[in-house]
């Protein structure tokens, strides 16, 4: 079993839909939780991060962390075709250099 699990999709939604992306993890020591977006043939770019449990909102994006269930989510409201990409959850333990472990990613297509 991998440390971080994520439904690979692909996920296809109509423009304007609310998208829910989720990850589960096994290591209870994870403290930083991140979501990256990766367009085809590009490197990952950070979307949001949270430290420990709770919610965080940034524009159309909301990240949720439930440490008791070892479950994190990313919600995208009013999805746009430009949101079509692969979304990677990532997490790390607080160490001297905060090694990051990534999920396998979910491929999202937003259809106009």
Return the residue matching tokens 């692969």: 86
Nearer to another protein, 35 or 110 (CB): 35
Least CB distance to another protein at residue 28 (A): 17
Phi/psi of residue 4, nearest 5 degrees: -130, 125
Name which of residues 2 to 61 contact another protein (CB under 8 A): 4, 6, 8, 32, 34, 41-46, 49
Number of residues that bind another protein (CB under 8 A): 25
Report strand pairing: 106-111 vs 11-14: parallel
Question: Is 63 a binder of another protein (CB under 8 A)?
Answer: no
CA–CA distance, 60 with 79 (Å, rounded to integer): 8
The tokens describing 34, both together, are 């991140």
Least CB distance to another protein at residue 112 (A): 25
């Amino acid at each position: 079993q991998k440390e971080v699990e994520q439904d690979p999709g692909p996920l296809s939604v109509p423009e304007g839909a609310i998208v829910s992306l989720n990850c589960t993890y096994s290591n209870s020591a994870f403290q930083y939780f991140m979501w990256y977006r990766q367009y085809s043939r590009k490197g990952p770019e950070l979307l949001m991060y949270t430290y420990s449990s709770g919610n965080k909102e940034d524009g159309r994006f909301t990240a949720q962390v439930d440490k008791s269930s070892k479950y994190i989510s990313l919600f995208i409201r009013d999805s746009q075709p430009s949101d079509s990409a692969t979304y990677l959850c990532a997490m790390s333990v607080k160490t001297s250099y905060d090694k990051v472990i990534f999920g396998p990613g979910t491929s999202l297509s937003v259809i106009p």
